[in-house]
Structure 1
């Protein structure tokens, strides 16, 4: 079995709820590109973005956990999209990078103690013979509150964070690329997070009710 098509503890596409979502979003007459695009929007907007639910627990990074929770951050959302693609026989893997968010909310900067998001996750999907990047992290409602355009995905071009927002202000800056992985490098991710934000590893408890932008 090709690694980028395989199920794993993280890309658990055989989970009943992951399979049920796929049935609701795709149909057999769609092309691979059409399926990937439809799945992208289902994950982008169907799972609310919430970085405050981070836990150094491998279970919380699985596709099924992300779907059941209904809210998560970039890595699990990217894994869920990848799992759904693999379920349809479309090769997918996870990519990781460090990004600086120039428009971070004060609350998020205070929580992270930094404006750099280490181990930002996105999905790489093989469509029409080439790998393209898809970033389903920020849902449409959140983007409207932040004053930025939600990322679109057409299955042909990379969908990565905008460098500037609609008003010309700096938005996202890619600081360092860590590459792509056939399965989730859990230890590598936790080590990177622990180095950047030791307070999130030591004694941290997730807060699922807290939002990216405080009301």
Structure 2
């Protein structure tokens, strides 16, 4: 289990800020499963989901940086949860999958070139009570309420993945492919896949991220995802 427990370049579970966040989330809980559940909800609802500020500056994928920013899309939020799990002594990994997601906004769909496929959607795999479970802490509760979808819940024993149906039982999401898990975030793979599948505007409106471009912080005026009207 050592590769799944030690700090890494992105999963800086030894960061004082991460350890403080974990201590607040767990409190005096001693049970491993309930620790994992508390950490999931702390990341899900404590960090706002935001796909409008995508950058491939590596520092922005470090768990402590995601925590300090207070927002992130599915990949950074998965990194944060995995790092928090390691800080609590729970083995963790980063997983990537391709997802068809009809819960979108016109603005984001245009940036993605008109597709509803979210390539390299990130999740955190946690080893709880001797078995691996997949968890997606991406959509905070306020966003789910705004978009009319059921929030992803986690009980510590079953996978907690994206919502297949919305509150009106309409199909919203489906997994196309699971690419497996890594002991640290394979950021180069994510970057290369995004460059292959998405138009340059997805990145350049938020930050300079393509190979050969100078890395920069995402644009401050990108807007808030939850303030846009969801597609129906």
Residues of 2 paired with 1:204 and 1:60: CA distance?
13
Residues of 1 paired with 2:193 and 2:171: CA distance?
25
Question: 2:151 touches 2:163 (CA, 8 Å); kept in 1?
Answer: no
In the TM superposition, 1:59-70 aligns within 5 A as 59-70=59-70
Query: What is the deviation of 1:88?
Result: 1.2
> Secondary structure of the equivalent of 1:133?
strand
2:200 matches 1:187: no
Q: Which of 196, 207, 213 is 2:219 aligned to? A: 207
Task: List gaps (5 residues or longer) in structure 2.
Answer: 208-217
> Secondary structure of the equivalent of 1:44?
helix
Question: CA, structure 1 residues 204+43, in 2 after alignment: closer, same or farther (shift >3 Å)?
Answer: closer
Query: What is the deviation of 1:29?
Result: 4.2
Which residue number in structure 1 is paired with residue 19 of structure 2?
19
Which residue number in structure 2 is paired with residue 85 of structure 1?
85
Residues of 2 paired with 1:129 and 1:25: CA distance?
22
TM-score by length of 1: 0.94
> Secondary structure of the equivalent of 1:166?
coil
Which residue number in structure 2 is paired with residue 53 of structure 1?
53
Q: Deviation string for 1:150-185 (max 9, x for gaps)?
A: 100000000011221121212111112111111111
Which residue number in structure 2 is paired with residue 174 of structure 1?
175
Residues of 2 paired with 1:107 and 1:55: CA distance?
17
TM-score by length of 2: 0.88
Moved beyond 3 Å, runs of 4+? 200-204
Question: 2:52 touches 2:206 (CA, 8 Å); kept in 1?
Answer: no
Q: Deviation string for 1:108-153 (max 9, x for gaps)?
A: 1112222111110011000111100111000000000000011000
> Secondary structure of the equivalent of 1:51?
coil
Residues of 1 paired with 2:28 and 2:7: CA distance?
21
User: What count of residue pairs does the alignment treat as equivalent?
Assistant: 215
Which residue number in structure 1 is paired with residue 215 of structure 2?
none
Task: List gaps (5 residues or longer) in structure 1.
Answer: none
Which residue number in structure 2 is paired with residue 107 of structure 1?
107
